Amino acid sequence: MKANYNHMNKIGLILLISWVSLLSYAQPFDHTPSSTIVYREINISETIRRHDPDLFVNIDIDDDGTNDLIFRIASEADNIFIGRVYASNEQANTKFLSGVGCSPTLFSAFVNKSGQKFIEQSAEDWNGSVQGAGETQVIIANNFCTDEPNFLNKDFSYLGVQFEKDGNIHYAWLLIKIYNIKDVTDYMSIEVKSLAYETVASQGIQAGDDGNPVVSSIEIQGAGGISEITEDYGTLQMEANLLPIEAQGRLIHWTLSDYDLATINIAGELTALSNGTVRVYATIDDINQKTDYADITISNQKIHLEALNVLVKGGGEFKIDTDYGTLEFDVEFIPENADNSFKSITWEQSNNASNNQFIYGAIGGTTGIVQAINDADGLATNTTFTAQSSDPNGTSKDFSVVISNQTKRIARLELVIIGELPPEINQDKGMLQLRSNDYPSYGEPIFWKVDNPSLASVTPDVTNSSIAFLNALNDGTVNVICYWEDPSVSGRIVSDTLSVLISNQIPTAIDELLNEQKAILFPNPANSNSTVFINTKKRIQRANFRTISGKFVASVPVSDQTLQLTDIKKGTYLVTLHLSNNTYFTKLLYVE
């Protein structure tokens, strides 16, 4: 089965198929399961509006790439709701369905029970009465009348379909309802739950027949025979015993007598809401429609929240128009006597979390504070937040704050490793290249540091402070910090931290590390194939050249504190100057 949706600017409803009849739920009858019937769940729900552009719903019943059934809006005379029958987009001889003015739209519902086939119906003309095979007509939809805009076909009904496949006639059914939307003018809804069709031509199929064994009886109870829920918001799995045994796989529809007392999901899990006794119904979705029920007693339920209201503390509007201003909120609980354990509030940001504002509030408190940070480059920014209760039913409230007149400032930093490498260095004197992403980005200078200089050093790129190089020194875990100091707000520092595991390092003396800044390379930038001098009190033995990404290029011997840049191409290099006692200095060198 395939379904797709389109729109047309029309007024009534047209069903495009070869033969169509509407069938109410059939009565029980002797039934032999057939392997020549294919059943499918569809679950289509579409709303059509009169005068709206193009809407039609195509259904490929037998999944062969051809649309066998088409629902769409048609344009006819004023106040007349009319449908025609078509075959493969060409008008067929049979017509059905009529209504004049505000008269209800009628479909004939019938089955040839002896042959278990659908029989055609016809109408004398478009404004005449619908005639069929003697079964009672059922109202499935009201026409567009302002004095009767209510639901008419509240329950699903069977729609019989005769369609052509490979030159042969096949029969099918759809479980469908078509109705006006209550208290809304000019809107109509189409819902299709399931279908089944015969694979052998002209064999015949009865409404609801899906080829599986029909259920003759059903008995339900709570799992293990339990008939009560005594824990707050507790659950009970409902179970159904079906006969014959071969019918155990049948789909069960679970419903309740009172949804204020409990809820139940499609798997039959019952969740308690309030004290009382709820009746659980189980109905089998086959032609026999067997039903059973069980009464479940619910006790010890707390009073749960039904809703929240978020209010500006002290009154006022939901806006912040002062730079770096704040707005504080209170929460109103509905009902007021809901259990206190459900009144803990977690404040969350629903959108723009990375770029603009943040919200903070004590978890378990009932007051939140929005701290303005940015707006949309001088434009008022509507930012959404959520007050989330601790009630297990998920009660929450979304609210928006308009923020304006803010200074451009960084909201947050994100420290990442370039190349998506793991946060570790396992080679002696290895290196990681880091980047600080700032949100929003205004080109502000970023600063770097490590929490333990004996384990590693961090050096920012001289041309881009958002890039830095972490150089391993000794084994251990070091925290690298990137940070930005807000010049417009005293004491406000935005930062992010990355933990890096360092291993396999040859120990290096701390006192030598602290003299790194005393090694100077000049000239810098230097020309390719030229001489570079090293100004330091330490005796350098060799210099290892790496690219910015850490790739090894060459090891160059040092003589009389000079480097010969033989075969060193243009580029930016990390030059590691090694001393005789296994200490080193790392410097940036630009070769032109």
What would the DSSP string read from start to end of 182-203?
Answer: TT-TTEEEEEEEEEEEESSTT-
Would you call 578 exposed, middle or buried from its count of C-beta atoms within 10 A (0-12, 13-18, 19+)? Answer: middle
- For range 183-202, the mean pLDDT: 75
Nearest to 419 by CA among 316, 299, 330, 547: 547
Length of the chain counted residue by residue: 592
Look over the chain and give the mean of its residue pLDDT values, rounded to a whole number. Answer: 73
Most confident of 274-278, 400-404, 417-421, 437-441: 274-278
Q: Is the pLDDT of residue 563 over 90?
A: no
CATH for 307-403? 2.60.40.1080
What pLDDT does residue 13 have?
34
What pLDDT does residue 279 have?
98
Instruction: Kindly tell me the number of DSSP H helices and DSSP E strands found in the chain.
Output: 1, 46
More confident of the two residues 119 and 224: 224
Q: Is the pLDDT of residue 74 over 50?
A: no
What pLDDT does residue 376 have?
73
CATH 2.60.40.760 domain extents, the chain: 518-591
Q: Count the Cβ atoms, other than its own, within 10 Å of residue 345.
A: 27
Architecture of domain 518-591: Sandwich (2.60)
Would you state the structure tokens that stand for residue 351, as one six-digit string? 């959108």
Residues of the chain above pLDDT 90, percent: 32
Nearest to 51 by CA among 171, 160, 188: 188
More confident of the two residues 437 and 581: 437
Would you call 66 exposed, middle or buried from its count of C-beta atoms within 10 A (0-12, 13-18, 19+)? Answer: middle
Q: What are the backbone dihedrals phi and psi of residue 69, each rounded to the nearest 5 degrees, phi first?
A: -140, 130
What pLDDT does residue 350 have?
64
- Residue recorded with tokens 């051809």: 66
CATH 2.60.40.1080 domain extents, the chain: 217-298, 307-403, 412-502
Q: Is the pLDDT of residue 70 over 80?
A: no
Give the three-state DSSP class for 221. Answer: strand
CA distance 523 to 531: 9
Q: Is the pLDDT of residue 121 over 80?
A: no
pLDDT tens by residue, 481-498: 999 999 999 999 999 999
Q: Is the pLDDT of residue 258 over 90?
A: yes
What pLDDT does residue 142 have?
31
- For range 191-211, the mean pLDDT: 79
Class of 217-298 per CATH?
mainly beta
- For range 91-115, the mean pLDDT: 30
Q: Is the pLDDT of residue 102 over 60?
A: no
What pLDDT does residue 50 have?
57
What pLDDT does residue 183 have?
56
Q: Is the pLDDT of residue 517 over 50?
A: no
The CATH number of domain 412-502 is 3.40.50.720: no
Would you state the structure tokens that stand for residue 408, as one six-digit string? 């451009």
Q: Is the pLDDT of residue 553 over 90?
A: no
Q: Is the pLDDT of residue 359 over 60?
A: no
What pLDDT does residue 238 have?
98
DSSP-assigned letter for residue 511? H
- For range 169-197, the mean pLDDT: 72
More confident of the two residues 478 and 209: 478
